[in-house]
Structure 1
Amino acid sequence: MTRKALALAVLLGLVACQTGPVSILYKEGSTRAERQEAYDQCFIAALKDVPQNMVTEVTGGYSYPGFVSCDTNGDTTICGEVGGYTTPVESYSYDTNEKLRQRLINRCLEAKGFSDVTIPYCQTKEERAAYQMQVAQPPLTELTCVTGQTVSTE
């Protein structure tokens, strides 16, 4: 495959990642800063009410030693281990309260007048430019596409 074809394939793959609908926080007339502030306030309140509860689960860690086999040839003895294996220990951590905290965040945002809506991703450069020029969210019937998330959840 030539370099140009490879570059084109990678570019098309990246574009394909952004073609599906995007879930956004919506409230008619709200600015990005207002949506971010509301999300942050709800996140902090939910974190206070439902703090993280990190749990680590461990699996594996089994070892079968095999056996030692020796061969003697005249005055020389050579020994080596035959068989045996070790399954490595694996661990992963997760927050047992994450789903409950997310439900509290969603309720808080709903109480502030926000909703979660799914909107298509803007396909053309013109659509993306028009979306980026909007200061406040238009009525939902006029919101035809978006360029990504409307708040940062990180």
Structure 2
Amino acid sequence: MKTLRPALLAAAVLSLAACVPQTPYERFQSGEVLRGIAWKPGVTPTVATRQRTDCEVKAVNDVPANAQVRSTPSYAMPSQTVCNRVGGQAFCNTYGGGVQGGQTYSVDVNADLRQRVYRQCLADKGFQIVDLRPCPDGVTPQPQSDSQRLPRLGANACYRVYPNGLVGYLPG
């Protein structure tokens, strides 16, 4: 049993490590496709960030959160008592009984509408929603600087995150 403890400890540590958010570089290394990126060619990253933030604020102001408390269905299970007579005594056992379900949770019923307002605002400002795949090995686009304008993306566009956190885009 003593030899099993280190293995269990290692498994527990590894399972907890899996819960830690990955850095952008680690996500790139794992081959993760960046999905739903708001992209606007021809502007600097600073301008794009400012316009995305404007759209986030607009969506929150136009469609505020509306949290509603709900509960899952519940049902009562009947109990059953079974008695047996042994000699002059009766022995009874009760089985079942209790309530299942009925957990409460909250949901923002405006979340989907707020997301649609956000995306509509982005489209009005000239953004497109794109997915970017990681660049293959050997393809090393230059890191994007804040003063460079974002390129127009083609069908083979890709991204690369460098160990220092800088990101490069290949227009494709």
- For the aligned pair, the TM-score class normalised by the smaller chain equals 0.5 to 0.7
More helix by share: 1
Match of 1:72 in 2: 85
Shift of 1:62: 0.8
Alpha carbons of 1:37 and 1:106: their partners in 2 closer, same or farther (altered >3 Å)?
A: same
Q: What's the offset of the Cα at 1:69?
A: 1.7
* Residue of 144, 149, 157 corresponding to 1:144: 157
| Equivalent residue, structure 1, for 2:35 | 22
Shift of residue 96 of structure 1? 1.8
The letter of the residue matching 2:151 is P
CA displacement at 1:84 relative to structure 2: 4.1
Give the length in aligned residue pairs.
133
Identity %: 28
Match of 1:134 in 2: 144
Q: Distance in 1 between matches of 2:34 and 2:55?
A: 25
Q: Are the aligned partners of 1:22 and 1:146 in contact in 2 as well (CA < 8 Å)?
A: no
Partner of 1:7: none
Q: In structure 2, how many angstroms separate the alpha carbons of the residues matched to 1:123 and 1:36?
A: 27
Gaps of at least 5 residues in structure 1 are 1-9
Stretches of 4+ moved more than 6 A in 1?
none
- Residue 116 of structure 1, aligned match among 106, 112, 129: 129
The alignment's C-alpha RMSD in Å is 3.3
Q: Partner of 1:146: helix, strand, or coil?
A: strand
Give CA-to-partner distance per residue, 1:107-142, whole Å, 9 cap, x none: 222232322123333233x44x526x1224223249
Contact 2:65 2:109 (C-alpha < 8 Å) held by counterparts: yes
Instruction: Report the equivalent of 1:100.
Output: 113
**1:106, 1:69 → 2: CA distance?**
62
- With the length of structure 2 as denominator, give the TM-score of the two structures: 0.60
* Higher RCO (C-alpha under 8 Å, 6+ residues apart): 1
